[in-house]
Every structure is written in C-alpha cells, then in structure tokens.
Amino acid sequence: MGKPTGFMDYKRQDKTAEEPMSRIKHFREFHTPLSKEEQEIQGARCMACGVPFCQSGQMLNGMASGCPLHNLVPEWNDLIYNGNWEEAYYRLVKTNNFPEFTSRVCPALCENACTCGLHDEPVSTKANEYGIIENAYEKGYAAACPPKVRTGKKVAVIGSGPSGLAAADLLNRRGHSVTVYEREDKVGGLLRYGIPNMKLEKQIIDRKVKIMEEEGVIFKTGCDVAKDVKVSSIMKDYDRVILACGASNPRDIKVPGRDAKGIYFAVDFLKSTTKALWANDMNLKDGTYISAKGKNVMVIGGGDTGNDCVGTAIRHGAKSVLQLEMMPKAPDCRAENNPWPEWPRICKTDYGQQEAIALFGHDPRVYQTTVKEFIKDKDGAVCKAKLIKLESKKDEKSGRMYMAEIAGSEYTVDVDLVLIAAGFLGSQDYVTQGFHVDVNERTNVKTDSGQYETNVKNVFVAGDMHRGQSLVVWAIREGREAAQQVDMSLMGYTNLSVQ
C-alpha cells in the first residue's frame, strides 16, 4: 500500500448530509460528495490487512459479512490514494456492473466488515466508490463499449431490476444479443419504483440504461410477459431465458378493517410519488399521487422500505408519522454475541427517522407493537387503529422464539393513511406458472444449490425471484452468476469472470 500508516495518520471522513429541516423540502439526493483530494486521503486509510473481510461476502451467523460482489476494495482504495482514478474504475467494474447504484443505496456491508473498524472507524469505502464511478462518467471512462464480435445467440431477460440488468450487461458484453422485457413504463424495477429519489435519482438509472442501449441491449417496456407477451413466443424466439421478476408479492396485514379506504402497500405509495415527480418536473401535483399531506400516517414495518415511507410522507407534509416495529429495539452497540466481522445487529436511525425527530421532536418508531384492528369512519375510510403490545416467548415444542400479544395492552391511535411495509413473499404465480417452473414453499423459483437453471430447459432465474427479498448487491451478484451459467450453456465454456 502507498501509505502503510494511513489508518493511523488520518481520521475517517464521509459525505456530508444536508440538514433534515432543509432536505425535507425537496426530493433530491442530499449528500455532498468528498473532494478528490479528500477521497485520496480516505483511500490511504485502507490497512492492507492480511485478510480483507471487506470483500469476503461470506455468511457469518446467518448474515452477510463483507461485499457479496467481492469488490476489490483494498486495490481501488490504494489506486485512488496514488491518484490513479482510471485504473481504480477498471478494478471497480471488474466485479460490479453498477457502482453508480450501489454507492448510493447499498448499506455498505464492506464498511461493517472493515478491519480498521474493529478498533477505530472503518474506511469510507462507499464514498470512495461513489467518487470513482462519478469521476469515470466525468472523464469518459464509463462510456459505451459495444462488443466487437456477436455470437448469434439470443437471450431474453424478464425483468429490469438490478439482477436482470446485471445479467443483461454481462451477456451483452460476451457478444450475445440480449432483450430485456419490463412490465412497467420505464426500466429499473426495484431501483426505479422501490427506492425513492432521495436515495437514487432516476436520471442515474437512465444514464446507465442509455449506455447499455448504445452497447446493444434492447429494452422493451410496458411488456408484461405471460400476460401481454406469450411465454410460447419467448421460448420460441430466444435461445435462453432468464427470469428476474423480483419478489413482487407484498406481505399483507390480515386484521379486521383491512378493507378500509386509505390503506396501501408501501411499494404502491412510493411508486405513485416517483411517477408523479417524473411527470411534473420533480414537483408533486395534487391528485396525481397517494398523498400524506395533512394526514396522521402509520407505517407498518421497520426496514428500509418503512424508513423510505417515513421520509416520503414527511416530504408530502404529513401531520404526524408513526412507525410500528414488531421486534424489540436493537442495542445501540454490538452485543457480546455479535462480534466483528459479523453484520452489526444494532439500532440504525436512518434518514427518514432523523427527519421525523427533527420535525416532530421524537423518534417515530414504536417497538414490539402491531395492529389489532383498523377502524373505519362513516365513509369506509380508516380513521383509527387499535394497536397491541407484544412480548418475546419461546414455543415449547419447537424451541423457537416468537412475538406474542400482551393481554390488556391494547390502545387506539388516530390514523388517516396506513402504509404496509412488511416485506415481500416470493414471485408472482402468473409468471412461474406461465413458464412452468417449480417453486419452493416460499414461492421462490427452485433450483439446485448454487445453480440458476430451473426445471425447465433453457430457463434460468436470478435475483429476489430466486433467493427471496434481499439487497441490491445480492441481486447484482445473482444476475452475474446466472449470466455466467447461461453463457456456459450456450457456448460450452465461459470467459465471464464474476468474482
């Protein structure tokens, strides 16, 4: 490494965030990047440790430690420290098709496994990744580079989320002719309509899609395969098919009053805002989206999507925001049974919760609580919710822990808008049945362990549709590995490197 003592000489510095009371007035990304000079210093903090856990991507105690894409983090940290930004870009994209996405939305598994973070603060790897890719666009390194030779093989990718895009990108580079089918009006899947603009502005997706088109990938939007487009025609027209349709079935809350007006799935709420912003030059026009303006909002679910709903509702002008979490609050620091380099099971206060604290004076989250009943007004709209507290108990037969209701702990809150952000359950059956692929008990498409080919010849699967709801980095990894196996099946060998 260029600076062996860098981790001792320099303190961690990261992108700075706009103040909550300022950023809630708009829907744009709100972090200010480090300067090139600052990022080069941050690159010097990389320790050249003997075992770079940051790039390991291994499962420890059921959780990922380090980057599932096996990004060559120490290499490109050293390269930017030495001012070699172009070579850093080539090392970065060797393992990651879309650093412009991951540097914005990934929870930075690499940083949580950083050796420097064992006794000090980790290297600001995510900020460095952002700097490398944005510099590459500015300098032209990330420009289109179409394949010089075509194989004559045709591949259809169904779904344009991160796994589908990753598979399409690699297979097109290999020289296969790739067509991506997307049922929505624009490309991106989860990236487009599941992640708000504050985390990923949509022109960032369009910038990359334009390059992929210049490289030869064909995108067909508004095409719902197995509905608008016959499966038989797809199977006839293409040599291989990759199903990358995501885990599209939102988990519901089945309690009395669920049919009340004003109760929506989180993905529908977020999608409506994204579409309305896009249609009106980043301004919300009344009547074009599901509005939280002036309403008492309740978000059910404590993950990233729940936090995104909190931040979006605040930007709408919500009167109040309450976020329910079934599980107990996680500790503020690592527990003894959760040592480094495991993923830290600690309480995270994300941007939406930070904004709620700044605006309303308190954290919106209520732990160990769930909905017992929704109460309607005379017009059939939700006006109140009956909540109940929960406690952790052990099942005597299985030995498993579960959350049980506490008798007599019910209480009622006023609510005008309910957003269900309780996760997703598997793939949609009209696609799986249309292609006749087997699914497991969770309705994810079934394959042999470590494999991506389904029970149907020439049909492969990748992403959340295969592994269940997960992170963007896992989706990209799945798309890359599926592409490698498709290439092998088409050519009898593969020169696609995915690690």
CATH of the domain at 448: 3.50.50.60
Q: How much is the pLDDT for 397?
A: 84
Residue 123 backbone dihedrals phi, psi, to 5 degrees: -65, 140
In whole angstroms, give the CA distance from residue 263 to residue 416.
9
Per-position DSSP letters for 330-356, written without gaps between them: PPSS--TTS-TTSPP------HHHHHH
Please write the tens of the pLDDT for every residue from 390-401: 999 988 888 898
Q: How much is the pLDDT for 1?
A: 60
Note whether 300 and 412 are same-domain residues: yes
Note whether 282 and 329 are same-domain residues: yes
Percentage of the chain lying above the pLDDT 70 cut: 100
- The upper half-sphere exposure of residue 163, i.e. CA atoms within 13 Å in the direction of its Cβ, equals 28
Note whether 159 and 182 are same-domain residues: yes
State the residue range of the domain holding 93.
6-139
Please write the tens of the pLDDT for every residue from 400-436: 989 999 999 999 999 999 999 999 988 999 999 999 9
Note whether 392 and 458 are same-domain residues: no
Please write the tens of the pLDDT for every residue from 160-199: 999 999 999 999 999 999 999 999 999 999 999 999 999 9
For residue 499, is pLDDT > 90? no
CATH of the domain at 19: 1.10.1060.10
Note whether 221 and 271 are same-domain residues: no
Asked whether residue 451 is domain-assigned, the answer is yes
Please write the tens of the pLDDT for every residue from 71-98: 999 999 999 999 999 999 999 999 999 9
In whole angstroms, give the CA distance from residue 13 to residue 86.
22
Q: How much is the pLDDT for 50?
A: 84
Asked whether residue 369 is domain-assigned, the answer is yes
Residue 181 backbone dihedrals phi, psi, to 5 degrees: -105, 130
Question: Of 420, 439, 464, which closes a domain?
Answer: 420
Note whether 64 and 128 are same-domain residues: yes
For residue 248, is pLDDT > 90? no
Please write the tens of the pLDDT for every residue from 258-310: 999 999 999 999 999 999 999 988 889 999 999 999 999 999 998 999 999 99
pTM > 0.75: yes
For residue 371, is pLDDT > 70? yes
Note whether 198 and 345 are same-domain residues: no
Asked whether residue 498 is domain-assigned, the answer is no
Domain tally, the chain: 3
Q: How much is the pLDDT for 4?
A: 86
Note whether 410 and 268 are same-domain residues: yes
Asked whether residue 438 is domain-assigned, the answer is yes
Question: Of 420, 444, 479, which closes a domain?
Answer: 420
Asked whether residue 257 is domain-assigned, the answer is no
Note whether 431 and 293 are same-domain residues: no
Q: Which residues contact 28 (CB under 8 A, 6 or more apart)?
A: 197, 198, 201, 282
Q: How much is the pLDDT for 13?
A: 96
H-assigned helices in 175-237: 190-193, 202-214, 231-237
Mean pLDDT of the chain, nearest integer: 95
Question: Of 83, 108, 139, which closes a domain?
Answer: 139
DSSP state for residue 453 in the 8-state scheme = B
Which helix or strand (DSSP H or E) is residue 155 part of? strand 154-158
Asked whether residue 256 is domain-assigned, the answer is no
Note whether 466 and 453 are same-domain residues: yes
Note whether 299 and 360 are same-domain residues: yes
Q: How much is the pLDDT for 98?
A: 98
Note whether 277 and 392 are same-domain residues: yes
